[in-house]
Structure 1
Amino acid sequence: MATVELRFSALPEHVRTARLVAAAVARRAGVEEAVLDEVRLAVGEACSRAVGLHQSVGITAPVKVSLIEEEKQFSIEVGDEAPHTVPGEGAGGAGGDEVDAEEDEMGLAVISGLVDDVEVSAGEHGGLIRMTWPTAPQTVVLP
């Protein structure tokens, strides 16, 4: 199992780099060419979400991206360190939290629309989005 790890400052300008690296590693891992745009878009959305969460609560820790090549699949994990609350348990109040929650749900809906196999976990110490794509079998051509 090969893994590439990226860590970048929670700044929007670094999301593009994460998307490019993810697409390059996915291509090398054997993800079908037709799916690479979906990989790029999903990673961009997940990283933008993580950057937004970090910025909204003033976290200076980097956003973490792991690109994991396994035997028949390729996975990308995007992690943030922003505390997440269970819906209905938050500070429940006026204004900003509701907008952030709606934006968060919209981002997750976009990711779910792009990727068939998505797992989202979140807790008080951060969240993780794991996206997985099948890889094409590697063929060896002999002379």
Structure 2
Amino acid sequence: MIGSDQLREVLAAVGQLLEAKGKTVRIVIVGGASLNLAGLVDRATDDVDVIARAKEDEGGPMLIPPDPMPDALMAAVQRVARDFGLPSGWLNTAVANQWETSLPPSLKENLTWHRFGGLRVGVAGRRPLIALKLLAAVDQGAPRASTTRIWSD
């Protein structure tokens, strides 16, 4: 389990390792870790759910699927797991399957960015988090249609 204070500490450690390599990586997180960073809850979480990466575009950050994660980020995450005694999947892209149906349209507009050295973490706002949570609740046990668009723009 990763507590609120430790969450900031491990993200800062990843950011320091990236910065030492001259790298900058932008990720977007959802779930318990995002609630912690947003200051909405103060409880431990099992992992950090990465739903997207962001790359700079003329109009600001453009969201892209998180996989594959950059090698520099994965190396930093693995080292932090070892150094802090965290499980190997403490930062993962398990929620990335959301790209199969589509992301909530408000996700990009409802991000708050946090800087941890070379790591930029976009924290999803309440509206997209609620939308994702509702979809997860409805989707429990139901077969997934890979081409169905859930959200309207």
TM-score computed with the length of structure 1 as normaliser: 0.30
